A and B are shown apart, each in its own frame.
Chain A
Amino acid sequence: MLKLDGLTKTYAGQRGVNSISFEIAPGEVVGFVGPNGAGKTTTLRMIAGTLEPDQGTVQLMGHDVWSNRQTAQAVMGYLPEHAPLYDDMTPRSYLDFLLSARGVARKQRPDLLTQAAKRTQIEDMLDRRIEGLSKGYRRRVALAGALAHDPPVLILDEPRDGLDPNQKRVTQALIRELSPGRIILISTHQLDEVANLCSRLILIAEGQVRADQSPADFAAQDPEGRIEDVFYRLTAGPSPTASNPDEAQT
């Protein structure tokens, strides 16, 4: 179980994330959506233990992320925003580095590495320098890094950003394959991804949860079932419109 309770983060006097609370059970794939600057990445960083909240708690599989950080981080795979990588390494050495830092035994590492490479389809690039990889491959190497140790919890910040349509399809299939028994939280701007992949959608805007329901129920708020229009209505302005966002602003 992933449980956020009253999570709050303030930047320069402004509340970036304002008392966010929700729970995610194993087997759920949750799409975490919201406009730019809504607080998605800040929330994910607080869950991943890389940013300390001002208030509130994050419990991961019974471990408090901030009082028992290392135990919580050991069961988590995290893909940070922009998928940062070490350019001087190869995907093989990068994945091996992450696995060894996580304390995975030397004998187990090659199997886990091969499995992660196969799942993310980077086998043919394993021994090339990361510096020379395309954006799509870089994103997949970073994703491989998040799931290489086979964690029960995956926190993914924009996992399909920069991928071509074929790669997006592969990644979507991979997340679906990984979902049974796992907690998967995906931050994304792609509402179609949420509708197709996620069992639940959490929408935040201005640091607060505005919706927490299934994508189907979310879309049903619009007479024509347009998920984008509901998103717009809940995030962009007070006067809603069914089909034309531009009209709502005038």
Chain B
Amino acid sequence: MTAFWTGFCALYRRELRQDAVSPLAYMFVASFISASVLLAFQVGGLFEAGRAELVAFFQFHPWLFVVLMPALSMRAWSDEARTGTLETLLALPVPTSALVLAKFMAAWTLACLMLVLTTPLWLGLSLLGPVDHGATLTAYLGSCLLAGAYLSIGMAASAVSRSQVLSFVIALGVSFLATAAGLPLVSSTLAAFLPLPLTEALASLSMLDAFAGFERGVIEARGLSYFLAVIALGLCLTGLWVDTKRGGQA
């Protein structure tokens, strides 16, 4: 194996093991499952709709992820910098890209596992009526990509500062803006100050807009490329900021 893969696999396993023994990871998973199910039933009216579909469940994911993904990623790099273990990682004969990807993939694995743990809701619903399994699976795929996009923003924010709190606040702010840009209220407010094409362009960059197709059970090339682009951008920024630490500037 190359230095990239040996380094990636070693750090990926380490991060997963850290999550496995961390009460925070369990609390995080429990919080997501309980909040998403509660919102789906209490606010989304999952049963009241009278249809065997999970739109009421998925529609809250962007807003839950705005808070939960920065919480999941805030420690990733800031803790390494604070405790000095970043020095140990940077002294390994491993490319920075492998370290960045390993941390991201480990956090994304946990996020995907968290989504998998909500599948009993899907199974339960399928007992009550005919569920469009293809559409539901697509919505799960979209939710995984959405979580990845928010995580990559969180990873980049975590690489900026040694403070977990500051990393969380930065990631929360950026994630909120990237989500709220698609709300009609925000679009109409912005339209009062900005030219219409620019307002529309900003709205089209929203996570909500990219997730909408998946939510309906449609894999749209635009949504897919949007999420992959956000993930790639977040990881590139993380790599740049981690390498900046080698330059002694951050």
Identify the A interface with B (CB < 8 A): 9, 11, 45, 48-52, 69-74, 76, 78, 80-82, 84-89, 93, 97-98, 100-103, 145
Contacts and interface: CB of A to CB of B under 8 A. Distances in A.
Interface stretch (B53-61, B92-100, B109-117, B131-139): B92-100
A50 B89 CA distance: 9
Interface string B216-250: 00000000000000000000000000000011100
B194 interface: no
A101 B247 contact: no
Contact of A103 (B3, B90, B246): B3
Contacts of A69: 93
A73 B91 contact: yes
Contacts, number: 79
A52 B21 contact: no
Interface residues of B, number: 27
Given A50-B91, A84-B88, A100 B22 contact: no
B9 interface: yes
A169 B91 CA distance: 27
A125 B128 CA distance: 55
Interface in B187-220: none
Given A73-B91, A101-B94, A86 B6 contact: no
Contact of B84 (A70, A84, A97, A98): A84
B183 interface: no
Interface stretch (B11-19, B32-40, B169-177): B11-19
9 contacts: A49-B91, A52-B246, A81-B87, A84-B85, A89-B14, A100-B9, A100-B10, A101-B10, A103-B3
Contact of B247 (A52, A84, A145): A52
Given A69-B93, A84-B83, 12 more contacts: A9-B248, A45-B87, A73-B91, A80-B88, A85-B88, A86-B14, A89-B17, A97-B10, A97-B13, A98-B88, A101-B92, A102-B6
B85 A85 contact: yes
A47 to B, nearest CB: 10
Main DSSP-derived SS at the B contact region? helix
A88 B21 contact: yes
B1 interface: yes
B90 A11 contact: no
A101 B10 CA distance: 5
Contact of B87 (A50, A71, A73, A100): A50
* The 10 residue pairs across chains A and B that have the minimum distance between CB atoms: A84-B84, A101-B10, A73-B93, A103-B6, A80-B87, A74-B93, A100-B10, A70-B93, A50-B90, A78-B91
A112 to B, nearest CB: 14
Contacts of A48: 91
Contacts of A85: 85, 88
A51 B87 CA distance: 9
Nearest to B246: A52
B70 interface: no
Contacts of A88: 18, 21-22
A82 B21 contact: no
A150 to B, nearest CB: 14
A50 B247 CA distance: 8
Contacts of A82: 84
A93 B17 contact: yes
A48 B89 CA distance: 11
B159 to A, nearest CB: 15
Given A70-B95, A103-B1, A50 B7 contact: no
Contacts of B10: 97, 100-101
Contacts of B21: 88
A80 B248 contact: no
B84 A100 contact: no
A84 B87 contact: yes
Contact of B14 (A70, A81, A97): A97
A102 B83 contact: no
B99 to A, nearest CB: 9
A81 B87 CA distance: 9
Contacts of A74: 3, 93
| Residue of B9, B14, B95 with most chain A CB atoms under a 10 A cut-off | B14
Nearest to A69: B93
A69 to B, nearest CB: 8
